[in-house]
Amino acid sequence: MPQCLAILAPSGRDSTVINGILRGAGLDTTVEAGIDSLIHALEEPRAGGIILAEEALGEEGLVQLERYLSAQPPWSDLPIVLLTRGRSGPEANLGLAGRLGNVTILERPLHPVTLVSAARAALRARARQHEAETYIAELHQSQQLVRESESKYRTLFDTMDEGFCIIEFLDGPHGPLSDYIHVDANAAYERHAGIPNVVGQRVRDMVPDEADSWVKRYRAVLETGEPIRFEQELVATGRHLELAAFRVEPSSKQQVAVLFQDITARRHAEIALQQLNATLEQRISEALAERKLLAELVEGTDAIVQVVDKNFRILAINKAAADETERLTGKRPKVGDDKLALLADHPDLLRNAKTVWQRAIDGEAFTEISHVNDPRRGTLHFEMKFNPLYGPSGKQVGAYQFAYDVTDRVRDHQRLAEATAQMHEMAKLETLGQLTGGVAHDFNNLLTPIVGALDMLRRQHEADERSNRLISGAMQAAERAATLVQRLLSFARRQHLETRTVDVKSLVEGMHDLMQRTIGPHIAVRVDTAANVPAARVDPGQLELAVLNLAVNARDAMAGGGQIRLALDDVEVTPADDESLRPGRYIRLAVTDTGTGMDEATLSRAIEPFFTTKGQGEGTGLGLSMVHGLAAQSGGALKIRSKVGQGTTAELWLPVADGRVEAPDTADGELPQQPRRASILIVDDENLVRSATAEMLREMGHSVIEAASGSAALDRLNSGEQVDLLITDYLMPGMRGSELAEDALAIRPGLPVLLLTGYANLAKGEAAGLPRLSKPFREADLARAVAALLSSEGRSPRGKPRLRSV
């Protein structure tokens, strides 16, 4: 029963905003890039409803979706939430809804609550469709079995102990379906209901004073098709009945089957027991002289009932209490036994029992939850109610107890609390991830002109020692800000990782000297790596930074010195080992220190961004957040174990990679020679970023055309203006850079395109094959990317770049 919503809203950031709202409300979603992927999501199936923007479908896509909907099974009516802008008019929207079927129309702009409400209603409707289909299928199968074994059914019908009948609804003076007639009944009907010869009788003739109640219950079953189970008194005969009813298919028969039995005796006993519980003090005092009657009332209950005198001698005990005591102690108690002597071989039980019973014997009435450790059944929880017991004269003669096994209830509450805490933690991390991703994007846009301008100024003032020193200091500060942004992106899992197959063993062993110099001589760094450790698919630069962060955190936990041990091995993970990791082989990199360790409260917040136990200015609180983000984005996990006074172990788990180890790319800060002077169209909605990038390109000797939007860039291309290279920002209002690149290549086939990204949050398959340059970048980074795209070696026979993402 898929409970995921497929989102098809390709314009601007619609899909991102809609996805964020729905996921923030706890709904499962999937963002689809087009009609083909949407149909694929429905056919798998992994989607139980569609959030559809009206502009997402052309006529061809609409026909394709209609074809899929028309092929649904009869029970299926896929819910669709259609988002309109009100420009097409009500008639067009209604026409579109008429072609698609089960459509809810929401006009934009819309409130998030409206969107969430419509999405939940769509999922509920889909769930009800699945439930109805399952029930119908089971009922059809049951009918087939009934037809195949009609003779057996008749024998069962006539001989079964439970009363059974089939009623058929009729229209009457009280309105449509206001009466019913018994069309069939077995012999047990009279025995349980006390009414003979019911076949052919109408309910309003049989029990006119209570007919409305019976008609109301069974008509709801007929109209909804939902079976019911209930208890009700048949007043005419004074019988209490336990009944179950279900609709006889097809519904056009207007028949309901009823199965029931007489529970009058049990109901009277329950009523008596309820009355006993309400006035237990008085009733027990009065019933001491009539112990046999008391035993009959309480013997059959599941509650544990015990009565003792002031010397702990058992005055009364029911079967449930005797069974539980025998199971725990191996001794079966009886009236007259010393309760404390029965528990003498079990010190814990003896101590607890004496404490609570003494309180009741001393005159206190109370209720408490207690637990018992059972070797076979684990920890059992009991709700125990104690009251003092008074004799006929009003003098206290002892105490009594009512106890109930609430183990399942306590365990359910514990599981609910754990699940709630986990859900809150996941929601908190997701919210922080969205926030940090957005902040990082804006910071990268701000840093791009700063880094670019400082880079150019440094080259121009290289001979001036003072200027060069000041510019270098500013550049270092900008690079530290860029590193902080990368950590934010790593935590938010929105960083574009330059992953490749890496020999982690060589990387870790090669960092020994760097870590020792960074940490200082007062702490020993020990690296232990297993033989033949396989490679991993990871960004080597980010991995080095992660290892260094873990080592620095370990150092800060050992102010008085100590030892840091880096251990590397590989582990096979099965589903039974760890639910947080997919089954398979993993590389495990463990960093262990001998420091102060963390308590549970600190450990629970360790990976939160900006959370730190260090002093002001001593740490950003992003180190472990970055490591967590790298692990999750690489398909692994970060696990931390720590106890106060026993140090900390941080384990970075990375999936083992297939294939050979790839050599790293190297690049220096020198400006490469440009293969030729070119006319470059630069597109960015941020004026500072666009002007700074344009200035770098002009310094390289290129002529530059600037455009503030995708539509403006397309106008320049359509005008026939000479453009040798298109450089575009990815995230722009109205039209993303990937969409601009697609339209530009349609106008100018073979035109080289470079995509600038503030952070890598591209959909899977989006802008495939386009080289990318991450913000912020230096002039040398931009020069290398431009030179590669302008060189003849950087083009395939079709004229498209063969370069990987920059």
Tokens of 543: 């991995």
Residue 799 lies in a domain: no
CA-angle at 385, arms to 379 and 391, nearest 5°:
140
pLDDT digit string, tens, across residues 311-350: 999 988 888 888 888 887 888 998 989 988 888 888 888 8
Residue 646 lies in a domain: yes
Residue 491 lies in a domain: no
Domain closes at, from 242, 262, 282? 262
CATH of the domain at 335: 3.30.450.20
- Greater confidence (144 vs 365) lies with 365
CATH of the domain at 532: 3.30.565.10
Residue 730 lies in a domain: yes
CA-angle at 475, arms to 474 and 479, nearest 5°:
120
**Distance between CA 548 and CA 220 in Å, rounded?**
68
Are 708 and 768 found together in one domain? yes
Using DSSP's 3-state secondary structure scheme, residue 461 falls into coil
Check whether 612 has a pLDDT greater than 60.
yes
Residue 273 burial (C-beta neighbours within 10 Å; 0-12, 13-18, 19+): middle
Are 248 and 307 found together in one domain? no
Domain closes at, from 340, 372, 405? 405
Any residues with CB less than 8 A from the CB of 651 and at least 6 apart, and which?
588, 589, 590, 591, 638, 639, 640, 641
CATH of the domain at 787: 3.40.50.2300
For residue 211, give the DSSP letter.
Answer: H
Q: Average pLDDT over the chain, rounded to whole? A: 81
pLDDT digit string, tens, across residues 143-199: 777 667 666 666 777 777 889 999 999 998 889 999 999 999 998 898 899 999 999
Tokens of 74: 């009869």
Are 636 and 539 found together in one domain? yes
CA-angle at 109, arms to 124 and 715, nearest 5°:
125
Q: Is the dihedral of CA 183, 187, 191, 192 positive or negative?
A: negative
Mean pLDDT of 79-84: 88
Residue type for position 132: A
Are 526 and 619 found together in one domain? yes
pLDDT digit string, tens, across residues 743-781: 999 999 989 999 988 765 555 556 667 888 887 888 888
Other CB atoms within 10 Å distance of the CB of residue 30: 14
Are 238 and 315 found together in one domain? no
**Distance between CA 481 and CA 461 in Å, rounded?**
23
Domain range holding 72?
A: 4-136
Domain closes at, from 243, 262, 281? 262
Are 401 and 281 found together in one domain? yes
Mean pLDDT of 35-46: 84
Any residues with CB less than 8 A from the CB of 615 and at least 6 apart, and which?
none
Are 217 and 343 found together in one domain? no
Mean pLDDT of 70-92: 79
Q: What is the count of structural domains for the chain? A: 5
| Three-class secondary structure assignment of 215-243 | HHHHHHHHHHCCCEEEEEEECCCCEEEEE
Residue 401 lies in a domain: yes
Could you tell me which residues are beta bridge partners of residue 763? none
Are 250 and 285 found together in one domain? no
- Greater confidence (43 vs 296) lies with 43
Residue 584 lies in a domain: yes
Are 536 and 586 found together in one domain? yes
Peptide bond into 2 cis (omega under 30): no
User: The tokens 């980010």 sit on which residue?
Assistant: 542
Check whether 524 has a pLDDT greater than 80.
yes
pLDDT digit string, tens, across residues 657-685: 886 666 555 445 567 788 889 999 999 98
**Distance between CA 86 and CA 169 in Å, rounded?**
48
Sequential DSSP letters for 723-753? -SEEEEESS-SSS-HHHHHHHHHHHSTT--E
User: The tokens 């959370």 sit on which residue?
Assistant: 611
Peptide bond into 250 cis (omega under 30): yes
Are 253 and 274 found together in one domain? no
Are 194 and 294 found together in one domain? no
CB contact at 8 A, 523 and 484: no
Residue 428 lies in a domain: no
**Distance between CA 333 and CA 19 in Å, rounded?**
64
- Greater confidence (669 vs 44) lies with 44
User: The tokens 């950003």 sit on which residue?
Assistant: 620
- Greater confidence (621 vs 81) lies with 81
Residue 715 lies in a domain: yes
**Distance between CA 399 and CA 387 in Å, rounded?**
6
**Distance between CA 84 and CA 91 in Å, rounded?**
12
- Greater confidence (671 vs 202) lies with 202
**Distance between CA 617 and CA 733 in Å, rounded?**
37
pLDDT digit string, tens, across residues 105-148: 888 888 889 889 988 988 898 888 888 888 887 877 877 776 67
* CA proximity to 506, closest of 534, 538, 486: 534
Tokens of 714: 């397309």
**Distance between CA 20 and CA 260 in Å, rounded?**
51
H/E stretch holding 308 reads strand 304-309
Tokens of 554: 């370990």
Check whether 279 has a pLDDT greater than 60.
yes
Are 294 and 366 found together in one domain? yes
Check whether 795 has a pLDDT greater than 90.
no
